[in-house]
Structure 1
Amino acid sequence: MPTVKKTKIVATLGPATSKKEVLRSMIDAGVDVFRINFSHADYEDVKERVNMIRELNAEMETNTSILADLQGPKLRVGVMAGDVVVSPGDEITFVTGEPFEGSAERVYMNYKEFPRDVKAGERILLDDGKLMFEVVKTNGEDEVLAKVIQGGPLKSKKGVNLPNTNISLPALTTKDIKDAEFAISLEVDWIALSFVRFSQDLIDLQNIINKHSDHKIPIIAKIEKPEAVENIDKIVAYCDGLMVARGDLGVEVPAQEVPLIQKQLVLRAKKARIPVIIATQMMETMITSLTPTRAEVNDVANSVMDGADAVMLSGETSVGNYPVQVIEKMSSILESVEGSDLIQVPQNPPHIRTKRFITKSICYHAALMANDIKAKAISTLTNSGYTAFQISAWRPSAYILVFTSNKRILTQLNLLWGVKAFYYDKFVSTDDTIEDVNHIAFNKGHLQVGDMVISLAAMPIKEKGMVNTLRVTEIESKDI
């Protein structure tokens, strides 16, 4: 019987993962989703990598998902002329307009509205917070004078964070719109939007998807701004998943606040029944080392115990020396902790009587019953994937086996905790269909004789309506 981890692994593509055989080994080791980082993406290269992943899915009979991650409004300084070091108390002028080579006195900033948006007393953070400046004054047009609070080497093209500033830039830049349209043309499974602050950011991206695609592409809101944490309820209403992007978040808010924000966001996602990804520096030392630190092992394990659907690797797989080994190590951590009784899922039953209330209630009770009767699997027939999202969020101890004739959602569902999807297009009668899918699950090694399985279906099946039926079956030898 295959041991299948339930928590999903998202791996970022990059120079270290350019060969098909490396991608194959990574899928074998436990990758569920490949992330395309559009901060560093060449379109031809992306197209080639997407084709490789789809070829591997066909060859390996897997459903590895593809996540397009848009850069968002990334603020950066320009190129420096040689080695530049700034010291506390120094003053430096940030200049917009035409790019030029920077010095310890003047440096180019790629954000044209910067002098209009910042105010005296606000902080400017550079290079993930390694350098800190305070705004002294702005001329409101093209220059901002700042004082160095925390000094060090000022390097070329480093990112800028403005934690106290109300930035007028939209979350979707011109580059993002172009990248989103390209990603939609490739029919990616998920799109992540960086630096989300308001629900309107997500509505704008949804409009682009609707304009360029006949199919729904779910959106992940990356939470990395304090405004996003404050507006989380409205953001959750307009997205299909969350990412706790701890890198920029840990610069935008004090780093010591991030652990509790992570827990808060995971809890909020669980209540909304949407997946949540924990990202940044999970196995950072494995970029150059074959062994993670004990703290990193704990971090990955604690993210699972918080209730994350997926954990993400960035530099570890994009530029690291050991892209396959880091997946193997991460998989072993996930498998060792995710079955623990210490993991508590908020058990708040559905009570708001929307048109999907019956389906939600059946999914909730299926998860409870699966734990009660120690069912090996919950199987569901779905056309939209909705029941998979619902059951996954309740974290049953059973595997969640999803059967669908909708090929578009096969790979989308691969991000969801505990979900394994299968293509199935024979819709006969309820009894025949349920026996048929149980037979498939048995042949794939997910069920054995004597196992209990809970089957969810919409009757009549051929109408592909909302789930309204729950059936419990014990697998007998005559059924196989």
Structure 2
Amino acid sequence: MLTNKKTKIVATLGPACSTREIIKDMIDAGVNVFRVNFSHADYEDVKEKINLIRGLNEEFGYTTAILGDLQGPKLRVGVMEEGVIVHDGDLITFTTAEDILGTAKKVFMKYQNFPNDVNPGERILLDDGKLIFEIVETDKKSEVIARVIQGGELKSKKGVNLPNTKISLPAMTEKDIADAIFAIGQNVDWIALSFVKTPRDLQDLQELIAEHSDYKIPIIAKIEMPEALENIDKIVAYCDALMVARGDLGVELPAHEVPLVQKELIRRAKTARIPVIVATQMMETMITSLTPTRAEVNDVANSVMDGADAVMLSGETATGNYPVQVIQKMTQIIEAVEDSPLIQVPQNTPQIKTKRFITKTICHHAATMANVIKAKAICTLTNSGYTAFQISAWRPNSHILVFTSNKRILTQLNLLWGVKSFFYEKTVSTDDTVTDINEIVKQKGFVQKGDFLINLAAMPIKEKGMVNTLRVSEIE
């Protein structure tokens, strides 16, 4: 039996969840969206998984979504000799000239512009910040000399972060462009872009999607760079959702600043009425243990109470020992806290008179009215999914049930807080449609006799225009 929680769970695909049985058990336990991590993806394998998930959707009436997550310009060092240790105070040279086998004295850096982008005094963080170096000098061509500030073992192909440096790389590398074109070809529901710095990064991906697809695939901006925080208002205007990517964010920024940044990003997303996902290390110990730590339970609960639409698992489901149990545990935590009166929704009513002003206002009033009259459900007919985004953002206490003839958005909306979507293709008169939908909702057990229900529709129905009608029904 599928759960009735409203906060969604995003789970990363990987070797630990590669069979049909495990994937089905995970959906039943509460997974709403499966993430394909293109840092470690084999196209044939991804194709197989996507077909498997869509097959389950078809067979069991699920609406599980697929999210393609692009790697972005992850900087790395080259291959190292075994057991290289660097000590505080040592000097080390990073070179881009030739792909040498790294030693404690000299290491290959895979990013060609590195010597040109960095300046003396800036820091190099390696292996998620386990090793720290400070740049002493750069020849601006191919070599950078740095002093070890925090030493340790220097391992092969480890990731590099440059928190003080403005790097000249675009958010999409050649690999990302190839991965994005593949993901678009697979009709994924969402694409996440890593290391977003400016709106231009998002526009580049939008243009790529437009070039390769007749449909608009919504984009999630992953916030993991200080530069993104400076440009957050502009970024929010160009993306369809935000992800608080706490892994790299916690390396690029001092870790103790991340909790407030998380809260601020969730608030920004909620004010903009776009969904927001909180990601990284949520249930990390459950990779190898059946019991999460109290701190992890608190972390998931607090993300839900901050107002996240979705919480995300990475290694826990991709390579962990307990992919199904971690979902069950997460669902338990979500259900325990998500109805708390302590959760606040930013109450900024629609102000700007855009062409969607009427729809926005109707959605806002539907959510407010549903709480006042204690309506059990808000039902909306939609072709673009726009009303689902709007109603979900107001966090009503009622069910949000979306009826659409557009199969593309049926799964896409599964990322949104509280939204359940159903395929519906009749375009009869408004009265008949409302009666019909109310009957379906009653049969599905969301409402019973005497309950109030709010219907939103675009009149006339046949034109599939913007929602302009709100109607309250009492179930007979």
8 Å contact from structure 2 (residues 2, 28) kept in 1 = no
CA deviation vs aligned residue, 1:393-418 (integer Å, no higher than 9, x gap)? 00000110000000000000000000
Q: What is the one-letter code of the residue matched to 2:261?
A: I
Q: What is the one-letter code of the residue matched to 2:93?
A: T
Shift of 1:3: 5.3
2:27 maps to 1:38: no
Whole-Å Cα distance in 1 between the matches of residues 105 and 325 of structure 2?
Answer: 45
Equivalent residue for 2:221?
221
Whole-Å Cα distance in 1 between the matches of residues 373 and 40 of structure 2?
Answer: 49
Equivalent residue for 1:54?
54
The alignment's TM-score, normalised by the length of structure 1, stands at: 0.98
Equivalent residue for 1:5?
5
CA deviation vs aligned residue, 1:202-224 (integer Å, no higher than 9, x gap)? 00000000000000100000000
Whole-Å Cα distance in 2 between the matches of residues 10 and 220 of structure 1?
Answer: 13
2:288 maps to 1:309: no
Shift of 1:2: 7.4
2:450 maps to 1:420: no
Whole-Å Cα distance in 2 between the matches of residues 139 and 52 of structure 1?
Answer: 52
Whole-Å Cα distance in 1 between the matches of residues 246 and 50 of structure 2?
Answer: 27
Tell me the SS of whatever aligns to 2:31.
coil
Q: What is the one-letter code of the residue matched to 2:161?
A: N
Shift of 1:435: 1.0
8 Å contact from structure 2 (residues 85, 104) kept in 1 = yes
Q: What is the one-letter code of the residue matched to 1:466?
A: M
Shift of 1:450: 1.9
Q: What is the one-letter code of the residue matched to 1:379?
A: C
Whole-Å Cα distance in 2 between the matches of residues 97 and 34 of structure 1?
Answer: 40
CA deviation vs aligned residue, 1:209-240 (integer Å, no higher than 9, x gap)? 00000001000000000000110000011100
Equivalent residue for 2:389?
389
Whole-Å Cα distance in 2 between the matches of residues 203 and 149 of structure 1?
Answer: 38
Q: How does 1:339-354 map to 2 (within 5 A)?
A: 339-354=339-354
Whole-Å Cα distance in 1 between the matches of residues 258 and 395 of structure 2?
Answer: 24
Q: How does 1:6-25 map to 2 (within 5 A)?
A: 6-25=6-25
Equivalent residue for 2:195?
195
Whole-Å Cα distance in 1 between the matches of residues 74 and 457 of structure 2?
Answer: 46
Whole-Å Cα distance in 2 between the matches of residues 475 and 3 of structure 1?
Answer: 24
Whole-Å Cα distance in 1 between the matches of residues 445 and 295 of structure 2?
Answer: 35
Q: What is the one-letter code of the residue matched to 1:351?
A: Q
Equivalent residue for 1:289?
289
Shift of 1:81: 0.9
Q: How does 1:138-153 map to 2 (within 5 A)?
A: 138-153=138-153
Q: What is the one-letter code of the residue matched to 1:234?
A: K
Tell me the SS of whatever aligns to 2:102.
coil
Equivalent residue for 2:366?
366
Whole-Å Cα distance in 2 between the matches of residues 99 and 373 of structure 1?
Answer: 68
Equivalent residue for 1:75?
75
Whole-Å Cα distance in 2 between the matches of residues 90 and 3 of structure 1?
Answer: 55
434-443 or 294-303, which moves further after superposition? 434-443
Shift of 1:97: 3.1
8 Å contact from structure 2 (residues 364, 390) kept in 1 = yes
Tell me the SS of whatever aligns to 2:471.
strand
2:209 maps to 1:170: no
Whole-Å Cα distance in 1 between the matches of residues 124 and 444 of structure 2?
Answer: 55
Shift of 1:98: 2.9
Q: How does 1:114-129 map to 2 (within 5 A)?
A: 114-129=114-129
2:253 maps to 1:253: yes
Structure 2 unpaired stretches of 5+? none
Tell me the SS of whatever aligns to 1:244.
strand
Whole-Å Cα distance in 2 between the matches of residues 28 and 84 of structure 1?
Answer: 46
Whole-Å Cα distance in 1 between the matches of residues 448 and 107 of structure 2?
Answer: 66
8 Å contact from structure 1 (residues 74, 160) kept in 2 = yes
CA deviation vs aligned residue, 1:223-259 (integer Å, no higher than 9, x gap)? 0000001100000111000000000000001111101
Whole-Å Cα distance in 2 between the matches of residues 450 and 7 of structure 1?
Answer: 27
Equivalent residue for 2:102?
102
- Structure 1 residues 196, 327: CA separation in 2 closer, same or farther (over 3 Å shift)? same
Equivalent residue for 2:329?
329
The RMSD of aligned alpha carbons is: 0.9
Q: What is the one-letter code of the residue matched to 2:238?
A: Y
8 Å contact from structure 1 (residues 34, 67) kept in 2 = yes
Tell me the SS of whatever aligns to 1:145.
strand
8 Å contact from structure 1 (residues 430, 459) kept in 2 = yes
Whole-Å Cα distance in 2 between the matches of residues 99 and 25 of structure 1?
Answer: 45
**Equivalences, count:** 476
2:245 maps to 1:236: no
Structure 1 unpaired stretches of 5+? none
Shift of 1:269: 0.4
Q: What is the one-letter code of the residue matched to 1:236?
A: V
Shift of 1:100: 2.0
Whole-Å Cα distance in 2 between the matches of residues 51 and 334 of structure 1?
Answer: 29
Equivalent residue for 1:429?
429
436-445 or 12-21, which moves further after superposition? 436-445
Tell me the SS of whatever aligns to 1:191.
strand
8 Å contact from structure 2 (residues 3, 28) kept in 1 = no
Tell me the SS of whatever aligns to 1:466.
coil
Equivalent residue for 2:132?
132
**Superposed structure 1 runs of 4+ greater than 4 Å apart:** none
Equivalent residue for 2:377?
377
CA deviation vs aligned residue, 1:336-379 (integer Å, no higher than 9, x gap)? 10000000001111111111111000000000000001111100
8 Å contact from structure 1 (residues 275, 308) kept in 2 = yes
